[in-house]
A and B are shown apart, each in its own frame.
Chain A
Amino acid sequence: MPTYAKSEDWLLQSSLLLEARPETTRITTRYTIRPHIRRTKKSSPPPSSSSDAPSTNPPRGHLELKTYDPVSGACLKYRTVKLAEVGRLMQLLGNRLARTQAGVPVREDGEAGEDVVMADAAGEAGSGVATPVGGGGEKGVADKAAGGGGGGGGGKGRKKKGKR
């Protein structure tokens, strides 16, 4: 019962499963709202935190997409909390997966669709896990720039520091 980190992976595997078993596979979209539980520090008094948390923090929701085939028992999942992804995912459910389910050939204007996927994927990466990496990279660039600005002497000094 794998949960995929990337929606593209989920989509690919799901479409493969649907192609194999279009008649029995079902796709469930589960939207869940849960109260936002704040991980409070132990030192803070519980009554104040419990009274503050519900008023200040809106409930958190998440969306889970599940492709399940009861015959083979295959179950593929994807989970997201991003509202920006919902529209795209639902469109994909229709354009790709529902078409396979319905037995209608998937439209071959896949180029435009894939372009959209790629753009969104890049956006996800930018706002998600990859952010620290990008930040680190830019820091490195800034570092180099600063070193260059300081001149050769500055560069040498920093090298010595590194050796120590």
Chain B
Amino acid sequence: MAVLSQDEFFVKLTELFRSHDGKDHGEVFLTQKRFTAGDTTTSPCDPAEPPKPAPILIRATDGQSKDDRASKIKFSTLVQPDDLDSFYARYAEVCRAGMATLKPRDRTKRRKNKKKKVGGAGQTSMRAVE
């Protein structure tokens, strides 16, 4: 698994999202965890010791199984603690742009509700007249 620079990571992530364009199924997995260079076995968790600043490892895959390992897309990047803000601002942008099949902010719903309200008011007034 290649560890990429942030710029390369974003380019590949955009590609990964774009590869699902026009398809009716697919998945993108993004995982983030603290990057500990192999010292997890020594002290998995020590509450007394405050955690030292460590980079964040971000992995992205297309969710293919082991059987499709040849075609599996899998890449990752490391984010240093100082870069977190700038990285996540871009990350959020790329994700929002890529997740096009999610429901956009719905305006038609409001209109329908308005209609309903008008209809409801009409009915009640009718009842009042009766």
Q: Which residues of A contact B (CB under 8 A)?
A: 20-36, 54, 58-63, 71, 80-84, 86-87, 90-91, 93-95, 97-99, 101-104, 127, 131, 135, 138-139, 142-143, 146-147, 149-150, 154, 157-158, 161
**Interface pair B128/A98, CB less than 8 Å apart:** no
B33 in contact (CB, < 8 A): yes
Nearest CB of chain B from residue A126's CB, rounded to whole Å: 9
Interface contact B128-A146, CB-CB below 8 Å: yes
Of B1-9, B64-72, B93-101, which stretch is located at the interface? B93-101
Determine if B14 is an interface residue (Cβ-Cβ < 8 Å). Answer: no
Q: Which residues of B contact A (CB under 8 A)?
A: 20, 23-34, 36, 40, 44-45, 47, 50-56, 63, 79, 81, 84-85, 87-89, 91-93, 95-96, 98-106, 109, 113, 116-117, 120-121, 124-125, 127-130
Contact of B29 among A30, A104, A149 (CB under 8 A): A30
Q: Which of A28, A103, A147 contacts B34 (CB 8 A)?
A: A103
Q: Which of B28, B31, B34, B105 contacts A83 (CB 8 A)?
A: B105
Q: In the complex the two chains form, is A99's CB within 8 Å of B33's CB?
A: no
Contact A83 B129 (CB under 8 A): no
A131 to B93, CA, bound (A): 29
Q: Are A71 and B53 in contact (CB under 8 A)?
A: no
Determine if B102 and A102 form an interchain contact, defined as CB atoms under 8 angstroms apart.
no
The residue that B124 contacts in the complex, of A30, A82, A146, with Cβ under 8 A, is A146
The listed residue (A22, A104, A157, A161) touching B81 by CB distance below 8 A is A104
Is B117 a contact of A142 with CB atoms below 8 Å? yes
A127 lies within 8 A of B109 (CB): yes
Q: List 23 A-B contacts (CB under 8 A).
A: A23-B40, A24-B45, A27-B32, A28-B31, A31-B98, A32-B26, A59-B101, A61-B101, A82-B105, A83-B96, A83-B100, A90-B88, A90-B95, A91-B92, A94-B84, A94-B88, A99-B81, A103-B51, A131-B109, A142-B120, A142-B124, A146-B127, A154-B128
Contact yes or no, B40 A24, CB < 8 A:
yes
